[in-house]
A and B are shown apart, each in its own frame.
Chain A
Amino acid sequence: MRKEDFELLSKILKERSGLVLSEDKVYLLESRLTPIARKKGMETLDDLINEIRLRRKEDLLREVTDAMTTNESFFFRDNTPFDLFKEDVLPALMKNRANKRLRIWCAAASTGQEPYSLGIILKEMETQLSGWKIEIIGTDLSQDVLDKAKAGIYSQFEVQRGLPIKLLMKYFTQAGEMWQISEDIRNMVTYKPYNLLDSFGMLGKFDVIFCRNVLIYFHQDTKADVLNRLREQMPEDGTLFLGAAETVLGLTDKFKPVSGKRGLYKTSEYMTQALKAG
């Protein structure tokens, strides 16, 4: 790929999604964008790039951005955050929310595995949670992945990554070669397209925010900005989950990691008070 082509694409992706593409990711551009070129009846990726350069058509730019920002996801990915949510975060919230309302945000919902994993956990605790009103909002930049999330239909490969067989039996039905998650669980999640670079004001406050494995694609200053704005979307005792390879260190003072609870972050105010309380 020519240098000016790479620069054009990486500039578009940075502007539209915050995605930072280093030059060693040329192969990713080629492998993900060539199918789009083919679909449009073009011979090569170069033709697609020329089309982008000449016309900058909105739907083509969106399609390109979607293709580059979509990531593979699986049910109960990394296990630990879901265990912590169930055994640590949720019991505390059940004690501290007299109005019996909870709002959870999956900020990089992708094809739905993360919000549905949370939905399954909550469904399994139905008895303890009777009388509670719990909202799960799943957002993603890409409308395509959200359409897939809403349908809740997964391949045999996808339902075998992270999902115990007994939960598959309980919450999925087979449709040919595919598996669909039950309507019960689907109805627990509301999906909206949302760009993490945009203002979060519209979304309201959340008790728990999952923002895993998406900041890694951003520049340092974008990461810091997103983290600072996520803080504004939660009360002082809110909880943030980041991916296993992510950190707030050197990015923001608004969140602190909780020792022994990998990937779980609390607000600085909360941690200061917890420290005082001993």
Chain B
Amino acid sequence: MKSCLVVDDSKVIRKVARRILEELDFDIREAVDGQDALNACHDMLPDVVLLDWNMPVMNGLDFLKALRASDGGDKPVVVFCTTENDMSHISAAISAGADEYIMKPFDREIIESKFSQVGLI
């Protein structure tokens, strides 16, 4: 079973994402901001991170940069999942090492489609 770390400050989004991803057979952990997510990654690297952008304490982009710079941090697939939907944000995320990008609102079909493109399904 593949593991997914869902990082979002919204409890509702985390719950929706968890439900979709559990149905797709992922083992889920949750984090509420970038720092929380980094700590979770230090405990154990997940196969994939579903990552919000705007969060308190540490935002998604800063988390991604810190993750990619850390030991083994190049391994997890990172899929942004954010309301930021303009080309400049998308480019910044991909340059920083994101593998895919989901613009909210999302549904099961989008998650499934994006996860299969990066070879997770």
Number of A-B contacts (CB under 8 A): 33
Select B90's contact among A79, A169, A173, beta carbons within 8 Å: A169
Residues from chain A with a CB closer than 8 A to the CB of B102 are 160
Report the minimal beta-carbon distance from B92 to chain A, rounded to whole angstroms. Answer: 11
Residues from chain A with a CB closer than 8 A to the CB of B109 are 161
Quick check: A157 and B110 within 8 Å, CB to CB? Answer: yes
Please report the total number of A residues contacting B with Cβ < 8 Å.
14
Residue A165 CB within 8 A of the other chain? yes
Quick check: A165 and B94 within 8 Å, CB to CB? Answer: yes
Contact residues of B between 69 and 121, Cβ < 8 Å to A: 85-87, 90-91, 94, 100-103, 106-107, 109-110, 113-114, 116-117
Residue A166 CB within 8 A of the other chain? yes
Rounded to whole angstroms, the CA-CA distance of A162 and B102 in the bound complex is: 12
- Render B29-46 as a binary contact track against A, CB cut-off 8 A, 1 for contact: 000000000000000000
Residue A174 CB within 8 A of the other chain? yes
Can you name the residue of chain B whose Cβ is closest to the Cβ of A165?
B101
Quick check: A160 and B103 within 8 Å, CB to CB? Answer: yes
Residue A156 CB within 8 A of the other chain? yes
* Inter-chain pairs besides A161-B110, A162-B113, A166-B94, 16 sampled, C-beta below 8 Å: A74-B113, A156-B85, A156-B103, A157-B107, A160-B102, A160-B113, A161-B113, A164-B100, A165-B94, A165-B100, A168-B90, A169-B90, A169-B91, A169-B94, A174-B86, A174-B87
Task: Provide a sorted-by-A list of 27 A–B residue pairs whose CB atoms are within 8 angstroms.
Answer: A74-B113, A79-B116, A156-B85, A156-B103, A157-B110, A160-B102, A160-B103, A160-B106, A160-B110, A160-B113, A160-B114, A161-B109, A161-B110, A162-B113, A162-B117, A164-B100, A164-B117, A165-B90, A165-B101, A165-B114, A166-B94, A169-B87, A169-B90, A169-B91, A169-B94, A173-B87, A174-B86
